[in-house]
Structure 1
């Protein structure tokens, strides 16, 4: 089974988001069936990165200098992890993160060097190039919509700073549309036929971020978390989690790890556990205008897979599919900004076709 999200924020172009989430589920599930939870999550996120409506890869928010810098991470249930941050000119950041994960699994490098888990900036770009991952002109990641949004906000920021004589880090001028305020980080969670879990996240970051800024999408424990089922005396379920929202706050909360661990400890009441963990880790810990976050979480306890999502924003886009479904389901979960909205879906998976 696989589930994806296209962020928590305000989704103005509903049809576009629904369409890309369905496509990501279909292609991600196919990759999962043919490969593993890792390949399924990566393929789903790659589809999301390639679509201009999301804030990841192509069409990402622009930083203060008008450039695209992306973050991404991927984790599997055996604690393997890979991440990149503030990277320019990489077509699919999630694939670079996955390559780091796979290379780290091999153990030490030549002369006993420790394999990296997390690379940033040009070092990450050169790493991708060395493994023949697709490198492109950084300008090719910019769309007309993302540039238009950048110019509008940059003009407002320049005016605000000229009046205040000091930097303004959080601004939203009166009259600007909610659709301009894009927080639609993308992610995926899944379980494969070997009961292995995987979770990943990819993001272009916050509009007008400082160059070199890294958000939760690349930070261990904050953007994604995965742990396989435990068949010993404790018999704990597998859990995979991906987060979205204001990265700085999610980093402080270790959002993905906090939610996943809480649900795993209280697996018989996962909805309550997720709600309490989300509230304790995030809501009330920051100013109202920064209280914007969402989480998608998959719990697997054979043969039942339970998908949950929660967000404090107006909307969150979610898609999901199992091999037993004839087509993917995608929806825009609607709520009120600053209050919690929670939803979910359950699938009883047959052992012969667990995916």
Structure 2
């Protein structure tokens, strides 16, 4: 790891099982041993503790369908893309590989028609996969025994008793997110299996650039943002994009800027979506990395109104895993916040 290299990863803002706290910490430590977003993503996505890839929450039909988005900057060139309907145990790697194939097709064929390369695609579309010559991978069972147990227990009861819905969500129900900064460039990505019993075909915030992830760069200042929590609120607010733009203009008081941006955006949009109307503040967690290249300073900031937010990071200063928790009486009413100098 070079002195300038930085890695940040989170396993969701939501409600983590306290009995699995040490397991989450161990998983983050394991992921921080790698540097590339594909490598880090593979460690997190293949583990049943996280809600993406293997072990994801099941939709109404009892199936796993993940969303993913990424942004990669190399040598002044930015590549980005997002996909939904991903039935694979490595959504981040699979999505990046898919768009590499898409790029080839547009450079060699469709680009001649003046068509722009798509930003969001349906990963499961067989015609798309055939056109870009994406090899079929052996079918893998992504349904963990834990997810199947929850599904079987509540599926037949939900239609009769809606109060059981919250009981069906004992663990975190949202995204993973990764930021990797190296001398060769930077990358940011997110993937998620969505919420239990979601409507088949739903696209969550992890599948939309500007919602769960975003990055901006201007005048020797770089800003990266990862968001997690209530996907519909995050999508409606285009939260990661809004936070990045606000931080890029801010001179200091970055923590206040993040919280004020969230609340002002909510006020502007008058959010009243299902699952968020009972809260004074949106049910979200935000993780931001700010690099002042001229001053050679890098700051990591976080805030969340959720029960918990687990993340880890490493830089030349060392490696750390953070398991931030909220006062149960203040969940959805105030933000826990903090920052680290990397």
Q: Give the TM-score band, short-chain normalised.
A: 0.7 to 0.9
Matched, 1:269 2:268: no
Aligned to 1:26: 33
Asked if the contact 1:197/1:240 (under 8 Å) is kept, the reply is: no
Asked if the contact 1:190/1:298 (under 8 Å) is kept, the reply is: no
Aligned equivalents of 1:248, 1:239: Cα separation in 2: 23
In the TM superposition, 1:173-184 aligns within 5 A as 173=164, 176=167, 179-180=170-171, 182-184=172-174
Aligned to 1:116: 118
Q: 1:178 to 1:59 in 2, by over 3 A?
A: closer
Aligned to 1:91: 89
Aligned equivalents of 1:252, 1:236: Cα separation in 2: 30
In the TM superposition, 1:163-202 aligns within 5 A as 171-173=162-164, 176=167, 179-180=170-171, 182-194=172-184, 196-202=185-191
Matched, 1:220 2:209: yes
TM-score, structure 2 length as denominator?
Answer: 0.83
Aligned to 1:341: 336
Aligned to 2:282: 291
The superposition leaves residues 63-84 of structure 1 with CA deviations (integer Å, 9 ceiling, x where unpaired) of: 0000000101101355431111
Asked if the contact 1:243/1:294 (under 8 Å) is kept, the reply is: yes
Give 1:146 shift.
Answer: 0.5
Q: 1:280 to 1:330 in 2, by over 3 A?
A: same
Asked if the contact 1:215/1:247 (under 8 Å) is kept, the reply is: yes
Matched, 1:16 2:23: yes
Aligned equivalents of 2:15, 2:245: Cα separation in 1: 28
Aligned equivalents of 1:110, 1:240: Cα separation in 2: 34
Aligned equivalents of 1:67, 1:174: Cα separation in 2: 18
Aligned equivalents of 2:200, 2:127: Cα separation in 1: 15
Give 1:261 shift.
Answer: 1.2
The superposition leaves residues 34-91 of structure 1 with CA deviations (integer Å, 9 ceiling, x where unpaired) of: xxxxxx2232122110110000101000000000001011013554311110222x22
Aligned equivalents of 2:151, 2:278: Cα separation in 1: 24
Matched, 1:257 2:246: no
Asked if the contact 1:216/1:250 (under 8 Å) is kept, the reply is: yes
Asked if the contact 2:154/2:168 (under 8 Å) is kept, the reply is: no
Q: Which of the numbers 22, 40, 44 marks the counterpart of 1:44?
A: 40
Name stretches of at least 5 consecutive residues in structure 2 with no aligned partner: 1-5
Q: Which piece of structure 1 moves more, 251-260 or 117-126?
A: 117-126
Q: 1:259 to 1:153 in 2, by over 3 A?
A: farther
Aligned equivalents of 2:224, 2:102: Cα separation in 1: 20
Say which SS state the counterpart of residue 9 (structure 2) adopts: strand
Give 1:239 shift.
Answer: 1.2
Give 1:179 shift.
Answer: 2.0
Give 1:126 shift.
Answer: 6.0
Give 1:281 shift.
Answer: 2.7
Asked if the contact 2:70/2:209 (under 8 Å) is kept, the reply is: no
Give 1:288 shift.
Answer: 2.4
Asked if the contact 1:8/1:311 (under 8 Å) is kept, the reply is: yes
Aligned equivalents of 1:322, 1:267: Cα separation in 2: 23
Name stretches of at least 5 consecutive residues in structure 1 with no aligned partner: 30-39, 161-170, 348-355
Q: 1:99 to 1:125 in 2, by over 3 A?
A: farther
Give 1:101 shift.
Answer: 4.6
Aligned equivalents of 1:11, 1:273: Cα separation in 2: 27
